[in-house]
Amino acid sequence: MEAEFQRTFVMVKPDGVERGVIGEVISRLERKGLKIVGMKMLKIGEELAKNHYAEHKEKPFFDSLVAYITSGPVVAMVVEGKEAIRVVRTLVGATNPIDASPGTIRGDFGMDLGRNIIHASDSEESAEREVSLFFNPDEIFTYERAIDKWIYE
């Protein structure tokens, strides 16, 4: 069965923006062969933060998570490629940077679970939900790159 092209949601969190690794994150995604089809910088409001992290609402860390993600600007992206969700999660590394392998984004730039640089959707359902929270359809682009023939058979 041939791998399916997917779109997924990726966000450089406030600590990644503050530490100046936006370009490195984008570079790693693009060097892998993934295509950015939507991107913007924004400051997340409390309502959007609570919607984004709704699955954690009953957990004790929910309020601090909302406070953190609203503390500064983020860079939100829609990324496309074959099995993009799995590929991005591999590039990102384990949620806890201490457990993330060297060479992954969290493994190279993170030291603390609460400051782990980046968010990436973990399933097709979460990707669809998160993309729709952060992007209007007219902010996501479909385009072909000449280089794609050198990335995919």
DSSP 89-143: HHHH--SSTTTSPTTSHHHHH--BTTB-SEEE--SHHHHHHHHHHH--GGGS---
Residue 151 lies in a domain: no
Residue 150 lies in a domain: no
Q: pLDDT by residue (tens digit) across 5-19?
A: 999 999 999 999 999
Residue 132 lies in a domain: yes
- Rounded to an integer, what distance in angstroms lies between the CA atom of residue 35 and that of residue 142? 10
Read off the CATH number of the domain in which 50 is found. 3.30.70.141
Contact between 151 and 109 under an 8 Å Cβ cutoff? The reply is no
Residue 31 lies in a domain: yes
Which whole number is the average pLDDT over 45-72? 95
Residue 102, H or E segment: none
pTM: 0.95
Contact between 85 and 8 under an 8 Å Cβ cutoff? The reply is yes
Residue 56 designated active-site: no
Q: Which member of 100, 119, 130, 131 is catalytic?
A: 119
Contact between 121 and 130 under an 8 Å Cβ cutoff? The reply is yes
Backbone conformation region of residue 103, classed left if phi is above 0, alpha if psi is from -120 to 50, else beta: left
Residue 28 lies in a domain: yes
Which whole number is the average pLDDT over 137-144? 97
- Rounded to an integer, what distance in angstroms lies between the CA atom of residue 41 and that of residue 52? 16
What percentage of the chain has pLDDT greater than the value 70? 98
Structural domains in the chain (count):
1
Question: Cα dihedral angle (85, 120, 104, 67), rounded to 10 degrees?
Answer: -170
Q: pLDDT by residue (tens digit) across 59-84?
A: 999 999 999 999 999 999 999 999 99
**Residue 2's Cα: distance from chain center in Å?**
24
Q: 110: domain range?
A: 5-142
Contact between 143 and 93 under an 8 Å Cβ cutoff? The reply is no
Which sign, positive or negative, has the C-alpha torsion 108, 116, 24, 89? Answer: positive
Residue 110 lies in a domain: yes
